[in-house]
Homo-oligomer: A and B are copies of this chain.
Amino acid sequence: MQYPEPIAKLIDSYLKLPGIGEKTATRLAFFTIDMDENDVATFASSLVSAKKDLHYCSICGNITENDPCVICVDKTRDQSQIIVVEQVKDVMALEKMREYHGLYHVLHGVLSPIEGKGPEDINITSLVKRLQQNETVKEVILATNATPEGEATAMYISRLLKPAGIKTTRLAHGLSVGSDIEYADEMTLFKAVEGRQEI
């Protein structure tokens, strides 16, 4: 005997999600059957709506319902700074800080020769165009991850923009706030010593 078709189909759908295997998918499917009917209906409609109503902002690449996104449209934000990030989620992380009021640019990836990702595969061209059309931008802050790929991407963009006379900066590397020196890795410690500041 197989599972009845509706549940077999639902298990298949859950299986397509990342990090979810056969057992978890089955557990989630059975959980769904016992869920409140309204919750299931909301879940189904959110799935469709998230796919249908969300787009990438044509200016910065952030995810949005309306194009351009709320950040690009907001003229009270500092138009002289752009933070360049790898993913949409990074925009949210930086926004949670509540200390930055400039603009963003989402690359949707990093340069990665191993994965065959070159400059044309990520959102770099649109960044260059944006800077050419917009002379209010004084500083581009490169906030790609502190990984080899992130560093290489930051380096590439910085070299690309330098001839145009735009200031490019990189987020500081160092000890995480609240962390122990004892447990920091060598590279982090090295960066922390290198970037030491007078107090």
Instruction: Tell me if A1 and B70 are in contact (CB < 8 A).
Output: yes
Instruction: Tell me if A19 and B10 are in contact (CB < 8 A).
Output: no
Contacts of A71 in B (CB 8 A): 1
Contact of A4 among B13, B19, B63 (CB under 8 A): B63
Residues 7-47 of A, flagged 1 when their CB comes within 8 A of B and 0 if not, give 10110110011110000101111111101010111111111
Contact of A50 among B7, B39, B64 (CB under 8 A): B7
Residues 78-104 of A, flagged 1 when their CB comes within 8 A of B and 0 if not, give 000000000111011001000000000
* Interface presence of A128 (CB below 8 A): no
A17 with B31, Cβ < 8 A, contacts A44-B44, A44-B45 known:
yes
A47 with B40, Cβ < 8 A, contacts A30-B88, A70-B1 known:
yes
Interface residues on A, range: 35 or more
Contacts of A5 in B (CB 8 A): 65
* Interface presence of A177 (CB below 8 A): no
Contact of A92 among B3, B10, B32 (CB under 8 A): B3
Instruction: Tell me if B33 and A40 are in contact (CB < 8 A).
Output: no
* Interface presence of A6 (CB below 8 A): yes
A17 with B13, Cβ < 8 A, contacts A45-B44, A47-B40, A48-B44 known:
no
Contact sample, A vs B, 11 pairs, CB 8 Å cutoff: A1-B92, A3-B63, A4-B53, A6-B54, A7-B50, A9-B42, A10-B47, A10-B49, A13-B42, A32-B47, A32-B50
